[in-house]
Structure 1
């Protein structure tokens, strides 16, 4: 070998590099530039990827975690967060990994210039708009993950040019239309959610939670013989389920719920030996005779079957006896929401590993088989809304792992078995609306895990309510109304420490209202109506701060009605049918009580005795604080910091929250905001499901937001406000400050996700009906009315918007997120903090009142403006930040143009309306009028929120054609 001088070798390397760059760079790249570094060596620079990344960043409208803060010219772009460059081609990006960072915006077409990309991960963010076709320019791309976003439109057909693609993840978006056939040319794809009918090696077919349409090819199982996973849930696929799926002999999982599939379930599926999950719930599948149920007979051949979900279809007729011959591995059998009739087949106990058995909402008759008590692993048993007769089987007491037992709305009779007292893990027991008789067994009142609700209402139960009811220390709701219970109301009820809903109405209870009820500080609703109660209305009831509904009607109560607490609002109290009551607030229209006499020496006594004592006490308190404050400053840095809420609620530690959220795992993440993240958690020792809001103290204003929420939540209690349980303010394992709020978990997500689904695990395929939207609007108005007019001092929320309105399982709305809330002065509607001139309004653009930008002063009128925008958004399903609102057009103007003759043209086309067209139109016009009045640019022209709440109720009454009390 001939050796070359060093200078020649360097020149040769430079030439090789230049040639390789010339052949590898696409023609779309910018010209190559050369620079000389400090050592005199020549370096090559390419600006294409750098400029493309900057263009990508420009389309990001929200970056809550400041993930792209490093994307600036002070740092070389290959060192930016999420960016990885090639070791060989130093200036070319090969990986862009920005998953799960809360980014919001559209995907810039400049992404197509990153032609060296091998992996692009934008999953689990909030990207919207369409997937740009320029993605098809990424010829080297092997892994593309855009799942769990809000991408719209169709799947770009030119993805076919990404010939190296092996993984394509597009699930949980809002994609529409058909899956392009052109993608079938991507022969290297492995596990992808695409309609790749001609790829024999395809193993996983996953396109869940989008809006894809069309039918599944009849030869799908033939063209995809290697398929073992089929997931199509949450789309709009229709037509029959292909019988050829049985040709994919390795198929193990078929999950196609929440679509429009029709016809019969193919009996050919019984030829799949490895099938372990079949979920076809929420479709239009039919069965009415033996032919229609043949699939169930065939599934007895699937020895690995562990889950069979057939609920919410159109299955009718008798349930075949073959159900008892299904796999011995079966753990879930869901048949609810169909039209199945007849008896439950004998031998159901053969399914020995069943954990969930659901028959609810069918037409089953006959007795519930005693043999069900042999299903020892059963965790949930639901047979609500059927026509079962006979007695509740005593053998159900053998199901010691049971957590939920629902037998409501049947024709069951006889006593409640004492054996149910064996169900030590039972959290829910619902026997509502049967013909049960006898007394309430003491045994079921001693179940330690009963926490969600115990419902024995609408039966024929008699006798007294046992004193053992006080053992239900973890129960949230107790309903024994509409029975024949008698005797006194037990004084032990106050031992039910966290009871929120207590319904004892329509019984034969007598005596006075027990004083012990005054200790139930968590009560939200109390119904004692239609009994034989006597004596005065106790004044302790007005001290129950959370009480929002009190029904004392149709008893024999007498004397003066209190005027504080819940009694201040006549709409929250019912006392009719008590002829000897007097006083109360004027809205109750009761006669005045006889005058009271006061001794003349009252004031001298106060001046001589009470005032000096009070002055001495205040002096001692002042000395105490002067002495102790310097001592408190000497506490160690790692000592827990007591938050403004921890003097009212049980404290939780950082360790408790770590365990509850599995180390703040991303799988438990349910939302992000400007000041932190919210996680779902399960708090010990009662396994309470909670929402944990962890504040990102690196963000400016996060600490103030935490204190603001604490200050508001410690004084505000209302059924339509999110309930705070406690807080945590201390240091974490690394010695950093840690602050979190723990809220009641509200399972149905935010109003934002109902109006504009982002497909992040809380997707709602059903649109809110007109009546539901009206009820939610009333709930929000009540919450704001409470903050403005029933808190001392009053509170301005300052950030009212759909994402801050949460919906529970009963579709009741709860307003949350008080991080920007302000306490208002008594003398005016302005914020107490405004006098400093340092308050900066940080509400959400589109919902902020226009005067905030001019004066910077917070007012309750600003909340009214936000409420108006929210109401218009609920009617139209259009955000005030929608792309259509430009060039002077706003959401208000959009509605005003159509008001009132063309109001039907602007409402959400997906909203289920009332049957009466005239009432529907009048209701929509009235709601639009309220929304426009509230969002008027002139503060003086806006309505008072109390008037809004009252008017919205009148609109609902008019829509329903009833007078609601």
Structure 2
């Protein structure tokens, strides 16, 4: 730091001549170098930055101008494995037009001195670990055309100064940070803006209607924030827009019919909000639309005929709404480019569209996936289905399963679970593989493959005439009795709810907790006790004074019941955890299903408190607090990975029922006071069918998304929930824990994945990809260890990375078994202890 201060002082003392200005550029570069950590791989890269041997314009990553050959105009050090902080001296490179430091490991704050770069046109600091706020001084870079600050740890609000004088700004990417506050309406004052991405932040409030004035905007993504209120009707003025993503917010109201004016729109994603009302028929005017995602809202009514005539559509997602009506017979025949349709969990009725039987026509070869499960579809199956994957589960279908379906060459996966099918199950074609079709929940089926464990089919004698005559009478009497019983139960429940006030629900074997108990324990759900917040709920730290529970400190997860899918995650988590007991699973203390003090439904899950937070907190510590100084050594990381593997082995193979977690990632690995890891957040978990293979699908798994970067490739292709999928996610977690790189880091966007990144370096560049702090530990320990002990530690690192690669294999059946993972990690840990 003293050297860098001397350099800055020397800059101030230099005379204002052209030679002095050139010398100032060289000194600024040397100051930048001095702020980096030389022990990292980036230090090797900057070894050429030596004033005594080469001219600075020839240094790697440096480019000088043509008209001013001694002035630095570009600094391009993208993905160069640089660590350290950004020197303020870069603000002295007065001719700099491009600064690209993306995809490194830089930390600290963005220097406000960068605002002095009056000629700067492109600024890329994405994919680092920068903290603090966005400096308002950057707004002084009036010639800036593009700024990319994605995937850092920036906080605070979007500075108004960015919008004040940047009339040339065309590309603004701020996604993947922790920005909060409202979206400034002054963003509408950026006349040249074309791409605007603010996704994956914590922005709140309403979307400014003034954004509708950005008529040159071609890309707008503000998904995965906390935005509320309506979608501005002024968005209909964005006629140049090709992609609009407002998903994963809390937007309400109806879908504006003005969106039908966006003739250039190719992608529209409004999913995971609380939108209501009908789908406007004006969307049918979007002649270029290929992706339509409006799932997981509160939409009702029918799908307009105009939507079924949008010939450009390739993907339609309307699942998890309250849409109704019949699906037109020719619904899919007018969509020649259609690939996937998600319509499950709605109120559609009638019969299966005849057009799916003709999907094998030459114009329909791309249409491979249709999900209309959990609706009210009735009647029988067509004899021909020209699809690769079809989900018809949880409907009212009846009759026999046509044997001809087994001979369809395209059909590979068929879900007929929880219907009213009867008779013999075919054994030909796709029906010869029990892992390719699903028939559970149909009580009157028989025969089929032995793996299905169905009763054999017997010929039944014909019914007598008087039995047939009595059957309708018996059915009517039973139905009337059932209806009266149901009305009585509903009346009793409704009366009790109105007279008893707040209730409490007990989870068998767990203590009873009331809403008022939780209010007291969390100090009225005080913000000071807030541990974190997500899509489905908020988690608070709580303390019980009574003897009602066997622990004093707890974590209380309060569900946001107004959020789509929140109730389903509550049910799933309770179902999976209620009978599971394991040292490496987060212990559920109890649940609370009650009424709050406003008369609204209230649901919460109470867990043991984890004093050391999550694995994510340790891999990416916030340097602004004391926890930012902590880090994990190799032994601790291996032990944590072993704990997680033991937890997965239990829920996959040794629990009361086989289950898949479906969301294994660092934020769901929690650490107690003794640094023992516990797997938590089972909100997406699925209980697999008893006795089935690990690839057997859960009855409610269709439409599953998972977490990007951790979800296995087969979930995107066919949504097959399995224990193999958990192993893939675990493999990515292993690679992330050792390398310190998220699978969604910016460097992995251009066709390179975290897995490939590790695989390429495994033979001879292992220490180049290992987490910086872990690498420093190993190097420092080398001074106190003999060569054989040091080599054994490197071998352990390689073994852990190889294990991660084996678990994250693209083919599900090629991945390791959890039992083998546990044994391998035990051996690695023993090797580390033997030093």
Q: Normalized against structure 1, the TM-score is what?
A: 0.45
Query: Does residue 1:504 correspond to 2:452, yes or no?
Result: yes
Against the structure 1 CA distance between its residues 56 and 314, is the aligned structure 2 distance closer, same or farther, given a 3 Å change threshold?
Answer: same
- Residue 130 of structure 2, aligned match among 145, 151, 155: 151
Q: Distance in 1 between matches of 2:207 and 2:352?
A: 39
Q: Distance in 1 between matches of 2:765 and 2:267?
A: 55
1:385-424 alignment, distance < 5 Å: 385-399=345-359, 400=364, 401-420=366-385, 422-423=386-387
Please say if residues 52 and 113 of structure 1, whose CA atoms lie closer than 8 Å, have aligned partners that are also in contact.
no
- Residue 106 of structure 1, aligned match among 64, 82, 85: 85
Give 1:752 shift.
5.5
Please say if residues 139 and 166 of structure 2, whose CA atoms lie closer than 8 Å, have aligned partners that are also in contact.
no
Against the structure 1 CA distance between its residues 419 and 284, is the aligned structure 2 distance closer, same or farther, given a 3 Å change threshold?
Answer: same
Q: Which residue of 1 aligns with 2:100?
A: 121
Against the structure 1 CA distance between its residues 171 and 157, is the aligned structure 2 distance closer, same or farther, given a 3 Å change threshold?
Answer: same
Q: Which residue of 1 aligns with 2:206?
A: 240
Query: Does residue 1:359 correspond to 2:359, yes or no?
Result: no
Against the structure 1 CA distance between its residues 209 and 509, is the aligned structure 2 distance closer, same or farther, given a 3 Å change threshold?
Answer: farther
Q: Which residue of 2 aligns with 1:696?
A: none
Q: Distance in 1 between matches of 2:249 and 2:79?
A: 32
Task: Give 3-state SS (helix, strand or coil) of 1:177's partner.
Answer: coil
Q: Which residue of 1 aligns with 2:397?
A: 436
Give 1:301 shift.
3.8
Map Cα deviations across residues 507-549 of structure 1 (whole Å, 9 max, x no partner).
32699xxxxxxxxxxxxxxxxxxxxxxxxxxxxxxxxxxxxxx
Give 1:257 shift.
1.8
- Residue 330 of structure 1, aligned match among 272, 282, 289: 289
Q: Which residue of 2 aligns with 1:256?
A: 222
Q: Distance in 1 between matches of 2:56 and 2:669?
A: 38
Give 1:121 shift.
1.0
Against the structure 1 CA distance between its residues 270 and 80, is the aligned structure 2 distance closer, same or farther, given a 3 Å change threshold?
Answer: closer
Task: Give 3-state SS (helix, strand or coil) of 1:213's partner.
Answer: coil
Q: Distance in 1 between matches of 2:664 and 2:102?
A: 21
Task: Give 3-state SS (helix, strand or coil) of 1:396's partner.
Answer: helix
Q: Distance in 1 between matches of 2:26 and 2:277?
A: 69
Give 1:303 shift.
3.8
Give 1:59 shift.
6.0
Give 1:325 shift.
4.5
Q: Distance in 2 between matches of 1:272 and 1:44?
A: 48
Give 1:31 shift.
11
Query: Does residue 1:469 correspond to 2:417, yes or no?
Result: no
Give 1:52 shift.
2.4
Please say if residues 228 and 249 of structure 2, whose CA atoms lie closer than 8 Å, have aligned partners that are also in contact.
yes
Task: Give 3-state SS (helix, strand or coil) of 2:681's partner.
Answer: helix
Give 1:465 shift.
4.2
Q: Which residue of 2 aligns with 1:210?
A: 177
Q: Distance in 1 between matches of 2:142 and 2:307?
A: 53
Map Cα deviations across residues 679-728 of structure 1 (whole Å, 9 max, x no partner).
xxxxxxxxxxxxxxxxxxxxxxxxxxxxxxxxxxxxx9x9989xxxxxxx
Query: Does residue 1:135 correspond to 2:102, yes or no?
Result: no
Q: Normalized against structure 2, the TM-score is what?
A: 0.52
Give 1:182 shift.
3.2
Against the structure 1 CA distance between its residues 350 and 70, is the aligned structure 2 distance closer, same or farther, given a 3 Å change threshold?
Answer: same
Unaligned runs of 5+ in 1: 1-24, 35-42, 194-205, 491-502, 512-715, 722-745, 757-767, 777-804, 820-838, 868-930, 943-965
Q: Which residue of 2 aligns with 1:368?
A: 327
Task: Give 3-state SS (helix, strand or coil) of 1:135's partner.
Answer: helix
Query: Does residue 1:313 correspond to 2:273, yes or no?
Result: yes
1:545-560 alignment, distance < 5 Å: none
- Residue 812 of structure 1, aligned match among 709, 714, 726: 726
Task: Give 3-state SS (helix, strand or coil) of 1:372's partner.
Answer: coil
Unaligned runs of 5+ in 2: 1-9, 459-644, 651-659, 671-676, 686-708, 716-720, 736-763, 801-824
Q: Distance in 2 between matches of 1:219 and 1:162?
A: 17
Give 1:368 shift.
2.3
Please say if residues 239 and 262 of structure 1, whose CA atoms lie closer than 8 Å, have aligned partners that are also in contact.
yes
Please say if residues 300 and 325 of structure 1, whose CA atoms lie closer than 8 Å, have aligned partners that are also in contact.
yes
Map Cα deviations across residues 722-776 of structure 1 (whole Å, 9 max, x no partner).
xxxxxxxxxxxxxxxxxxxxxxxx99998459889xxxxxxxxxxx996238999
Q: Distance in 1 between matches of 2:57 and 2:237?
A: 53
Query: Does residue 1:771 correspond to 2:771, yes or no?
Result: no
Give 1:859 shift.
8.4
- Residue 167 of structure 1, aligned match among 146, 149, 173: 146
Task: Give 3-state SS (helix, strand or coil) of 1:144's partner.
Answer: strand
Q: Distance in 1 between matches of 2:186 and 2:29?
A: 47
Q: Distance in 2 between matches of 1:326 and 1:478?
A: 38
Give 1:154 shift.
0.8
Q: Distance in 2 between matches of 1:285 and 1:226?
A: 27
- Residue 54 of structure 1, aligned match among 19, 24, 33: 33
Q: Distance in 1 between matches of 2:397 and 2:215?
A: 51
Q: Distance in 1 between matches of 2:143 and 2:302?
A: 56
Give 1:336 shift.
0.6
Against the structure 1 CA distance between its residues 431 and 46, is the aligned structure 2 distance closer, same or farther, given a 3 Å change threshold?
Answer: closer
Q: Distance in 1 between matches of 2:94 and 2:796?
A: 49
Please say if residues 11 and 24 of structure 2, whose CA atoms lie closer than 8 Å, have aligned partners that are also in contact.
no
Considering Cα pairs closer than 8 Å and 6+ residues apart, tell me whether 1 or 2 has the greater RCO.
Answer: 2
Please say if residues 29 and 48 of structure 1, whose CA atoms lie closer than 8 Å, have aligned partners that are also in contact.
no
1:771-920 alignment, distance < 5 Å: 771-772=680-681, 808=712, 812-814=726-728, 815-816=730-731, 846=774, 854=785, 856-857=788-789
Give 1:383 shift.
0.8
Q: Distance in 1 between matches of 2:159 and 2:186?
A: 17
Please say if residues 219 and 242 of structure 2, whose CA atoms lie closer than 8 Å, have aligned partners that are also in contact.
yes
Q: Distance in 1 between matches of 2:668 and 2:108?
A: 18
Please say if residues 431 and 457 of structure 1, whose CA atoms lie closer than 8 Å, have aligned partners that are also in contact.
yes
- Residue 299 of structure 1, aligned match among 259, 262, 272: 259
Give 1:119 shift.
1.9
1:719-734 alignment, distance < 5 Å: none
Give the number of equivalent residue pairs.
Answer: 516
Query: Does residue 1:85 correspond to 2:52, yes or no?
Result: no
Please say if residues 33 and 46 of structure 1, whose CA atoms lie closer than 8 Å, have aligned partners that are also in contact.
no
Please say if residues 133 and 156 of structure 1, whose CA atoms lie closer than 8 Å, have aligned partners that are also in contact.
yes
Task: Give 3-state SS (helix, strand or coil) of 1:333's partner.
Answer: strand
Q: Which residue of 1 aligns with 2:247?
A: 281
Q: Distance in 1 between matches of 2:231 and 2:177?
A: 23
Task: Give 3-state SS (helix, strand or coil) of 2:204's partner.
Answer: strand
Q: Which has the higher strand share?
A: 1
Q: Which has the higher helix share?
A: 2
Q: Distance in 2 between matches of 1:188 and 1:273?
A: 20
Task: Give 3-state SS (helix, strand or coil) of 1:127's partner.
Answer: strand
Please say if residues 373 and 398 of structure 1, whose CA atoms lie closer than 8 Å, have aligned partners that are also in contact.
no
Task: Give 3-state SS (helix, strand or coil) of 1:27's partner.
Answer: helix
Give 1:380 shift.
1.1
Q: Distance in 1 between matches of 2:233 and 2:90?
A: 47
